[in-house]
Amino acid sequence: MQSEDMMSTIPEHANVVIIGAGIVGNSVVYHLARKGWTDMVLIDKGPLPNPGGSTGHASNFIFLVDHNKEMAALTLDSTRQFKDLGVFTQSGGIEVARTEARMEEFRRRMASSKAWGIESYLITPAEIKELVPYINEEILLGGFYTPGVGVVDSLRAGTLMREYAVDKGALTLSPNTEVLDIEVKNGRVTAVVTNRGRVAADYVLIAAGVWSPRLARMAGATIPLTPAVHQMISVGPIPILEQTGGEIKYPIVRDMDTFMYERQNGSDMEVGSYAHRPILMRADDIPSIEEARLSPTELPFTEEDFDPQLEQALELMPDILGDERAGIRHAINGLLSLTPDGFPLLGETVEVKNLWSAAAVWIKEGPGVGRMIAEWMTDGYSEIDAHHSDISRFYDYARSEHHIRARTSEAFNKTYGIVHPREQWESNRNVRVSPFYSREQDLGAVFFETAGWERPQWYESNAKLLEEFGDRVNQRPHEWDARWWSPIINAEHLAMRERVAMVDLSAFALFDIKGPGALDVVQQVAVAQMDVPVGRGVYTPLLLPNGGFKSDLTIMRLGEDHFRVVSGGGDGARDRKWFVDHLPEDGSAQLHDVTSGVSTIGVWGPKARDLLQSVTDDDVSNEAIRYGRVKPIRIGGITVHAFRISYVGELGWEIYIPTEYALHVWDILWEAGQPLGVSTAGIGVYGTTGRLEKGYRLFGAELDSEYTPMEAGLARRKVKEQDFVGKEAYVRALAEEPAAILCTLTVDDHTSASGIKRYMQGNEPILTPDGERIVDAHGRGSYVTSAGAGPSVGKYILMSYLPPEYAKEGEKLLVEYMAEQYPVTVAVVGSRPLFDPKNERMKG
Amino acid sequence: MNTLVCVKRVPATGARVTLTPDEQAIDARYLSFAVGPHEECAIEAAVQIAEEYDGDVTVLTLGEADAVEQLRYALAMGAHEMILLETEDGDSDWGPMATAGAIVDAIRQKEAEGDAFDILLFGNDSADAGGFQVGVRVAYALGLPVVTGVKGLEISDGHATARREGGGGWEVYEVDLPAVFTVKEGLNLPRYPSIPGKLRARRRKPETIAPNRGEDGLEKIRLKVPETEKKQAQILGHGPEAAPKVADILEELGLLS
């Protein structure tokens, strides 16, 4: 007989060490084993099968619908896997509404449900009562019912997955093993030191849930999450539940307006809450297994935080929860992981090569994340686009405890909240401001945040333009459609198209790639030919090995060995890692992040040349600076780079200015522009109205790794000779009929059943004239990737990928928004702009 | 039939006990507070008596303001009234003599107000200090009969039958009421508080009495966590092959005949 302490001798070497044997770690080893990985070691400081992390106390239910495509896809994939493992019990789930605002949210959810191919229904209070006989339907307005909702046995799932890898001879288990250190050499992870010995490892994956930040810190990396409390109680025995004789027979109820859920668990009703104050912890403050009364992630219940919820739960289910014989048998403050933006933390850490994170993952995403990580580690991409969850999305400031605590405190009570797609954060704002900030404030800028940057979305001082453009500026009569929006955006757009506008673009992420190896670096990541003359700027997709989009951006050649990469603020952190990952090991090229050192103003409109020529002695004629060229010129004595390009389809330049001179240059332009009628335009114009009229694609909206340049209408027939990431797949795609083509659609009639005009916001499903879902040959549904006004074309514009049979100009289809359907027409197939299709304005 | 139940707010343990650096208290950072298991049985017994004989249950504790949490727990189980002998902040660590003295004062005060108790229930010993004294001292001071270690209690007109375990059998005591009983876990199966019970208790405020701290016979020097035997799991085998070994062990333990 052997004691467990003596049982496992830990291997001295592993291909990969996985830390954490919860749902995530187990799923990862399973999928890595399936992909052929061997010599894996799975470590946990607790015992198996329940080492004491968040998996062990999870409520284990899976609601399928999420407005976000990536999260919905991960949840659907996980559900499929749980079913295959035989650990899924379908119960159905009903989200119930006590308020009209929530009913509207359910109508919006219907669109997401249909967009991602999930079966859901809006049901009446009486129908809820039929499904859940013990509910007090009198306080409800209706429900959102998803029959496919269910519960899983996550511990059993983990065990089965782990055993698969063990049986395959690919995995050694090491429970009851504490990680003491993670060794790093030359920026690369080399070993994991434990209380049972040291394991040299090529890869280390941290899947340790709430403890992940502490483990990452051992390696000098960050995994930006915070442990936070989620309270739940279990009430029983309840006769009607006892009689079912099973774990769950009645649908799970989410009482959305009180931020609570009620879920049958055998003869008990489990009541969970996201309504209490945010209770954040620190990974270092979590008790050890020995110190914890239940488990380290099941902390003592703080009753006062739950008290208000008792009444609300009683109101919803008075017959069973009001029964004096049913006692509160179990109550915990359970720990779970929260991140600053609510998405998981997946991928290689920014700081340490081969140190991977798979953290901040809930049960409903676990197996999907396992597959995603295994594919990503093996092939360099995953079937499901991962950009929302990519841990490298955070800039340094956003990986700080300061930021994490601010945002998670704010977000906790939004777990069941109604969150508008444009809703802005209130906490930790004004972190990054451009040199023009004070001028913008004076002009009444309404700031939206992107990656810490405060960017004017529109300017209240431009309200005066509303009168000038009258009916050409459309209004949005419904409060939801008009929330976080202003008709001023459309007026700014029209003023730009008629005269000239200045746009603050300082949030651009800018990286200079320099050195003798610089050309090779940019060639390797860019689809476009980068060996262009100095002074040329090139727009290019960046691809993953599968030929899907990693990013799209612009690269200027400023010198033989000097390229400047211009990426959007929201994408810059991910893109920066991508370039850093492709730098040569011999140091022949380096990346210099010049974001802070360079500020940018867009000057666009028919009078842009008049304006720019009036402030410089350098020649800015079409002959001197042709479209796509970048040239140093002097404004007010300052050397700036004028790049002739436009994301809004107008004549003009992006003017790159050393930051300390930037305000000076702004003031010169602003003053010189007054006689020309210059106005400011916000990101509402730059990112939506101007862009959509030109059919320009946006990464994260139209472009992600699930679509190719061929499908996005961005492929070029001529393929450069040099190698680049994704080339093979790119060339293959060129020869194939695309499964879907990105199209521009216009809305024919906005009138809803109630007579109010409604305006889609994005992510709505595009349907056949019969109201059926449209799905392409790869199983991808058609949905609105971007939506917004086109004030100069007098249409409301939607973009969507459509299969070839529907991608025909003039094709009549439907879009579903708030549970109603509206007629749309396919206006353009491919990338031809609706506005100025020959690009005469830009290139003239 | 009115019952008084005296309870104490103690850390809910179950994990390794850690002391504060000054070794004067249990580090409660990861712990919640509760009434001890003996006292939960006392509350349950009192509630059952009240249900059967139509009387009130008053629950009393001595402690700081936050001890109201334990009083409310008892209320949620079915007690009716709460008395808090509220000590100054940081001064809840009273010895058994002083505690008993304060309780006796409170009982006399209630009697003077016309609220006399027929049955006084205590836990046999507190879950933290384990002094085994307070109930006995209160009984002595009030001149009432007392039965300790009670694991069976029946009430009939004006008197009670209390049972306690004695070498291989039961000791049975017939006692006239009023009387004091210090009870042990196993007396009954205490109920969990219900949601309506919690809601009823939530807003109630206890009657507060400022106790006078009398002399104590005990002086605390410091606490010490006793050495516990390290648990070692043994793996008998895997799958069906392990079955004979399991059977051997069960036989060894006398669980198989």
In a domain, A409, yes or no: no
Among A173, A273, A289, A293, most B C-beta atoms within 10 A, so best to mutate, is A293
Domain count, chain A: 2
Q: Are strands A741-747 and A795-802 parallel, antiparallel or unpaired?
A: antiparallel
The span from the CA of A500 to the CA of A657, in Å, is 19
A300–B30 C-beta distance less than 8 A = yes
Is residue A388 assigned to a domain?
A: no
Residue A83 lies in a domain: no
What B158-164 contacts at long range (C-beta under 8 Å, 24+ apart), as own/partner pairs, is: B160/B119
How buried is A426 (Cβ within 10 angstroms: 0-12 exposed, 13-18 middle, 19+ buried)? exposed
Instruction: Find out whether A385 and A77 touch, Cβ atoms under 8 Å.
Output: no
The partner residue sitting opposite A327, judged by closest CB among B16, B192, B199, is B192
pLDDT of residue B239: 84
Nearest to A256 by CA among A71, A483, A414: A414
Q: What is the pLDDT of residues A177-186, one digit of tens each?
A: 999 999 999 9
Cβ of B31 and A299 within 8 Å?
Answer: no
One domain for residues A326 and A434 = no
Active site residues of A: 230, 261, 552
Q: Which amino acid is at A712?
A: A
Q: Do B194 and A324 count as a contact with CB atoms less than 8 A apart?
A: yes
Instruction: State which residues of chain B have pLDDT below 50.
Output: none
- Residue A716 CB-density burial (10 A; 0-12 exposed, 13-18 middle, 19+ buried): middle
CA distance A297 to chain B (A): 11
A287–B12 CB contact, under 8 Å: no
Alpha carbon A617 to its chain's center: 45
Question: Would you state the structure tokens that stand for residue A295, as one six-digit string?
Answer: 């488990």
Q: Distance (Å, rounded) from C-alpha A395 to C-alpha A573?
A: 6
B189 and A CB contact within 8 Å: no
Q: From residue B48, how far is each of A235, B56, B77, B188 by CA, in Å?
A: 21, 11, 10, 10
Please tell me the predicted confidence (pLDDT) of residue B32. 87
Whether A694 and A560 map to the same domain: the answer is yes
A653 beta partners: A603, A644
3-class SS at A383?
coil
**Which residue from A minimizes the CA distance to B69?**
A303
Q: Does A294 touch chain B (CB under 8 A)?
A: yes
Q: Strand A453-459 and strand B169-176: pairing?
A: unpaired
| Closest B-chain CA to A321 | B195
- Using a CB-CB distance cutoff of 8 angstroms, which residues of chain B are in contact with residue A7? 235
**DSSP letters for A771-826:** S-B-B-TTSPBPBEEEEEEETTTTEEEEEEEE-TTT--TT-EEEEEETTEEEEEEE
Q: Which residues pair with A226 in a beta bridge?
A: A338
Question: A313: how many CB neighbours lie within 10 A of its CB?
Answer: 25
Q: Check CB contact of A321 with chain B, cutoff 8 Å.
A: yes
DSSP type of residue A301: P
Pairing of strands B179-183, B146-156: parallel
* Helices and strands, number each (H, E), in chain A: 25, 40
Beta carbons of A291 and B15 less than 8 Å apart: yes
Asked if residue A160 is part of any domain, the answer here is no
Q: How far apart are CA A425 and CA B59, in angstroms?
A: 48
The residue among A336, A356, A371 that closes a domain is A336
Measure B63 CA to nearest chain A CA, in Å: 19
Are A299 and B197 a contacting pair at CB < 8 A? no
Q: What is the pLDDT of residue A360?
A: 98
* Residue type at A327 in one-letter notation: G
Domains identified in chain B and CATH numbers: 3-229 (3.40.50.620)
Stated pTM of the model: 0.94
Size of interface A-B (CB pairs under 8 A): 76
Residue B165 has a pLDDT of 92
CA distance A50 to A57: 9
DSSP B177: S
A672, A701, A736: which is the final residue of a domain?
A736
Is there a single domain that holds both residue A473 and residue A584?
A: yes
Nearest-CA distance from B128 to chain A in Å?
A: 16
Tell me the DSSP string of A708-765: -HHHHT---SSPPSS--TTHHHHHHHHHSPPS-EEEEEEES--B-TTS-B----S-PB
Residues from chain A that touch B15, judged by Cβ atoms under 8 A, are 287, 290-293
In three-state secondary structure terms, A494 is helix
Nearest-CA distance B232 → chain A (Å): 7
CATH code where residue A231 lies = 3.30.9.10
One domain, residues A312 and A451: no
CATH of the domain at A509: 3.30.1360.120
A762-788 burial, b if ≥16 CB within 10 A, otherwise e?
bbbbbbeeeeebbebeeebbbbbbbbb
pLDDT of residue B158: 87
Look at strands A345-348 and A226-236 and give their pairing.
unpaired
- Assign residue B90 a region (left: φ > 0; alpha: ψ between -120 and 50; beta: otherwise): left
pLDDT tens digits, residue range A576-602?
999 999 999 999 999 999 999 999 999
| Cβ–Cβ below 8 Å for A327 and B191 | yes
The answer to whether residue A531 is domain-embedded is yes
Cα distance between residue B29 and residue A287, in whole Å: 9
Count of CB atoms situated within 10 Å of the CB of A805: 10
The structure tokens listed for A265 are 């668990």
Instruction: Find how far residue A652's CA is from the centre of its chain.
Output: 32
To 10 degrees, what angle do helices A366-379 and A23-34 make?
40
- The answer to whether A303 faces chain B, any CB pair under 8 Å, is yes
Last residue of a domain, one of A293, A312, A336: A336
- Residues 224-243 on A with a CB inside 8 Å of B are 235
3-state secondary structure of A632: strand
Q: Does B204 touch chain A (CB under 8 A)?
A: no
Rounded Cα gap, residues A114 and A767, in angstroms:
9
Q: Does A844 touch chain B (CB under 8 A)?
A: no
Residue B198 with chain A: CB contacts under 8 Å? 307, 310, 328
Q: What residues of chain A lie within 8 A of the CB of B29, using their CB?
A: 287
pLDDT at A108: 97
Is B143 in CB contact (< 8 Å) with chain A? no
Q: Which mean pLDDT values do the consecutive 10-residue runs of chain A (844 residues) have? A: 51 98 98 98 96 94 96 98 98 98 97 97 98 97 98 97 97 96 97 97 98 98 97 95 93 96 96 92 90 89 90 95 94 95 97 98 98 98 98 97 96 90 97 98 98 98 96 94 98 98 98 98 98 98 98 98 97 98 97 98 98 98 97 97 97 98 98 98 97 97 97 94 97 95 98 97 97 97 98 97 98 98 98 96 91
Residue of B nearest to A324 (CA): B194
**Does residue A466 belong to the interface with chain B, where contact is any CB pair within 8 Å?**
no
Q: Which residues in chain B touch residue A328, judged by CB atoms under 8 angstroms apart?
A: 192-195, 198
A308 touches chain B (CB under 8 A): no
The pLDDT of residue A8? 53
In this complex, is the C-beta atom of A775 within 8 Å of any C-beta atom belonging to chain B?
no
Q: Which residues of A touch B196 (CB under 8 A)?
A: 314, 322, 324
Write the burial class of residue A353 (CB in 10 Å: 0-12 exposed, 13-18 middle, 19+ buried): middle
Residue A2: its pLDDT value, please?
36
CB-based contact A287 B32, cutoff 8 Å: no
User: What is the strand order of the sheet A327-338 is part of?
Assistant: A121-123, A142-146, A93-97, A252-255, A260-265, A268-273, A226-236, A327-338, A298-300
The answer to whether residue A620 sits within a structural domain is: yes
Question: Do residues A199 and A17 lie in contact, with contact meaning Cβ atoms separated by under 8 Å?
Answer: yes
Assigned domain for A289 exists: yes
Q: Which residues of B are less than 8 Å from A327 in CB distance?
A: 191-194
Residue A667: domain span:
428-736
Q: Quick check: ipTM above 0.90? A: no
- Give a yes or no: residue A840 inside a domain: no
